[in-house]
Amino acid sequence: MEILNFIIPFIILLTIVVFVHEYGHYYFAKRYGVGITDFSIGFGKEIFGYNDKSGTRWKFCAIPLGGYVKFFGDRNVFSQAEQEELLKQYNKEDRDKLFVTKPIYQRSLIVFAGPLANFLLAILIFVFIYMFVGKDFTPAQINEVQENSPAHTAGIKSGDIIISINDKKVNSILEVSTFINTSSTESINIQIERNDKKMNFSVIPQIIKSEDSLGNKMNKKIIGIKIIPLNNELKKEKLGPATAIFYAIKETWFVTQASFDFVVSLFKGKGDTTQLGGPIKIAKITGQVAQHGFIAFLSIMAYISISLGFINLFPIPMLDGGHLMFYAFEKILGRPLTQRTQEGFFRIGLFLLVFLMLFTTINDLKDLGLF
């Protein structure tokens, strides 16, 4: 039964996030007159489904680890010559339904619409939470600075109020740990307020083996401070629509930027690869978070949705970003890349995705103590 507590919330979350992603593709494809034969949640054998009036097969398949929208006459790889042969197979009416006959800007929007839908879902969730549950605006005051800690060495003192971390304004006591641990730089710039004066400090954090609030192992950055709410008063506000949208967009942008910085740090050889996780780890965390209630579940859904949108923008063939890369080449060259070149890119992309899947699976098994 315990494993069902992880699997069921994970499947529900993934189904919603994948559906929204694929619906983004579907919506713009229909808008531009592209024929759609399949809208699938999951891969492999179909479990159930139905055909709508336009002939699209909506289905749920056995392996719910993704999904796809299949376009009429769809082909993953084509050259200019192959496209011409393809067009000969269809009459005028059917040609207008082909994805490959659409202008580059329409194809690009159809492809980009998937990640865009994921970002919009996250924003919508954050707006809902901020409007009906509230957002924390409790200022962070330093209650204690540990002796010989990075903060103590830098000159930070008890009583200081944290204003910003790495030029990011600290609006809530909850953001202090987040900003420190998502920092991709060796030193962290902290601005504080002391006796009505603003002061800046550069702190080099220590990295320790720790656990998150759910008990999962992690490498944590610490600077040796304990923080409390300013004047011991918690400040949580329910926001109006406009303000909620502002902070929702800001949070979505922060998560996206932090993800990008993390990827860059991996390429530089400075990122913590142990933090990379795959479906097993995501399922575990989703199940843990779901036990804390509906709002917590919505929050993790927003973060997973951002991650899915961000990852799909990687310029790797087989991902949306890979297709956008091909369209950029097509725009520059005035023609599609040759079939041989595109197939070469697809092989490289497949290798990268398989390698990433194996790497994250090994990390997941290590996290469970099975490897």
* Spatial distance between the Cα atoms of 357 and 351, rounded to a whole number of angstroms: 10
Measured CA to CA, the distance from residue 144 to residue 21 in angstroms comes to 45
pLDDT in tens, 8-34: 898 999 999 999 999 999 999 999 999
Buried b (16+ CB within 10 A) or exposed e, 296-313: ebbbbbbbbbbbbbbbbb
**Residue 57 domain-assigned?**
yes
Residues 113 and 149 in one domain: no
Q: How far apart are CA 323 and CA 337, in angstroms?
A: 11
Q: Minimal CA–CA distance to 298: which of 364, 248, 253?
A: 248
Q: What is the DSSP letter of 53?
A: T
Predicted pLDDT at 91 = 79
Does residue 291 lie in a domain region? no
Cα gap 371→361, rounded to integer Å: 10
Q: Is residue 250 part of a domain?
A: no
Average pLDDT over residues 316-332: 90
Q: Do residues 173 and 219 share a domain?
A: yes
Average pLDDT over residues 299-328: 92
Please tell me which residue, 362 or 244, carries the higher pLDDT value: 244
- Its domain, for residue 8, covers 2-132+302-367
Predicted TM-score (pTM) of the model is 0.89
Q: H helices within 235-315, ranges in order? A: 241-267, 279-290, 294-311
In a domain, 28, yes or no: yes
Q: Provide the greatest CA pair distance for the chain.
A: 79
Element holding 322 (H helix, E strand): helix 320-333
Q: What's the CA angle centered on 119, arms 323 and 257, to 5 degrees?
A: 85
297 part of a folded domain: no
pLDDT at 1: 44
Query: Which of these, 113, 78, 108, lies nearest to 327 by C-alpha position?
Result: 108
* pLDDT computed for residue 358 by the predictor: 80
Q: Is residue 258 part of a domain?
A: no
Average model confidence (pLDDT) across the chain: 86
Same domain, 6 and 81: yes
Per-residue confidence (pLDDT) for residue 274, from 0 to 100: 67
Last residue of a domain, one of 237, 263, 284: 237
Cβ atoms of 371 and 365 within 8 Å: the answer is yes
Q: Are residues 126 and 21 in the same domain?
A: yes
pLDDT tens figures, 273-301:
666 667 777 777 787 787 888 999 999 99
Mean pLDDT, residues 210-215: 65
> Rounded to an integer, what distance in angstroms lies between the CA atom of residue 221 and that of residue 211?
12
Task: Give percent of the chain with pLDDT exceeding 70.
Answer: 89
Task: Reduce the DSSP state of residue 14 to 3 states and report it.
Answer: helix
Structure tokens belonging to residue 222: 């610490």
Do 168 and 49 reside in the same domain of the chain? no
* In a shared domain, residues 63 and 107: yes
Hey, which residues are catalytic here? 22
130 by DSSP, 3-state: which?
helix
Query: What are the φ/ψ torsions at residue 68 (nearest 5 degrees)?
Result: -160, 155
User: What angle, rounded to 10 degrees, do the helices at 294-311 and 279-290 form?
Assistant: 160
d(CA 169, CA 179): 10
Task: Please report whether residue 179 resides in a domain.
Answer: yes
Last residue of a domain, one of 214, 237, 260: 237
Task: Give yes or no: residues 38 and 21 share one domain.
Answer: yes
| 127 and 140, same domain (yes or no) | no
Phi, psi of 228 (to 5 degrees): -135, 160
pLDDT at site 271: 67
CA distances from 132 to 120, 174, 295 (A): 18, 19, 10
Share of the chain above pLDDT 90, in %: 47
Most confident of 79-83, 142-146, 265-269: 142-146
pLDDT computed for residue 285 by the predictor: 77
| Contact criterion met (CB below 8 Å) for 216 and 226 | no
Please tell me whether residues 38 and 120 are part of one structural domain: yes
> The CATH number of the domain where 163 resides is what?
2.30.42.10
Last residue of a domain, one of 197, 213, 237: 237
Residue 200 in tokens: 């800046």
For range 327-351, the mean pLDDT: 85
Whether residue 157 is found in the same domain as residue 216 = yes
Domains held by the chain: number: 2
Q: What is the pLDDT of residues 146-195, one digit of tens each?
A: 999 999 999 999 999 999 999 999 999 988 888 988 888 888 999 999 98
Could you tell me if residue 265 is inside a domain? no
Rounded (5°) CA angle 286-291-297: 50
Q: What are phi and psi of 186, to 5 degrees?
A: -65, -40
pLDDT at 80 over 90: no
Do 113 and 142 lie in one domain? The reply is: no
Residue 132 pLDDT greater than 80, yes or no? yes
The reported pLDDT for the residue numbered 59 is 95
Q: Give CA–CA dist 80/94, Å, rounded.
A: 19
pLDDT of residue 342: 81
Torsion of CA 358, 363, 364, 368, to 10 degrees: 140
Residue of higher predicted confidence among 215 and 332 = 332
Q: Are residues 31 and 150 in the same domain?
A: no
Say how many CA atoms lie within 13 Å of 191 toward its Cβ.
12
Stretch among 20-29, 100-109, 320-329, 341-350 having the lowest mean pLDDT: 341-350
Phi, psi dihedrals of residue 224, rounded to the nearest 5°: 85, 40
